[in-house]
Amino acid sequence: LPQFLDAGESMSAKQPVGAARKRIGPFTVKAVLGEGGMGTVYRASRKGEDAAVKVIRPTLLDKPDIRERFEREAQLLQTVDNPHVARIIGFDATKKSAPWLATEYIDGPSLKEWSEKGRKLSEDEWSDIAEGVLSGLAAIHEKGIIHRDIKPANVMMSDDGPKIIDFGISKEEGQTALT
């Protein structure tokens, strides 16, 4: 695979952390990475390991069975083992806090951000990217999970190749949307 990141290029935090959220489970929050319909994603660390931690939006907690569906999704995602899928580090869907899901932190831009910079790649390099994304999707589908929001913004570019992220609206085959 090509070297995806220029020297010094990384997925930096978009906002500093406010005083309201300093910890999520065992993680110490460093910064806000982004917000979406499902919740907020934070850059956080635990024992020297950085993570991207998604916390479900409080307004979604009124939905019936949201915690159970969230926990089932997290358990399924933990079974996916592929270098092109963000590794699940931990989760908590108990009632003691808002549900959260921690994945490995990928220090690189999204494919969307990366491609908008006007990178000129050969056919072989684009083929390597496509093969990585397809390998990740195949591993996800083997576990009966459908991502449902695969797009350049949900593919992070690392020195190890593309990695699929953001399973907030994935579902099990034959099931309704999980979260």
- Count the helix, strand and coil residues of the chain and give each as a percent rounded to the nearest 5: 25, 30, 45
Are the beta carbons of 65 and 95 closer than 8 angstroms?
A: no
Catalytic residue among 6, 65, 81, 149: 149
- Report the alpha-carbon distance of residue 55 to residue 24 in Å, rounded: 8
What is the residue whose two structure tokens read 């499902």?
38
Measured CA to CA, the distance from residue 146 to residue 160 in angstroms comes to 24
Cβ-contact 2, 14 below 8 angstroms: no
Q: Is 128 known to be catalytic? A: no
Instruction: List active site positions.
Output: 149
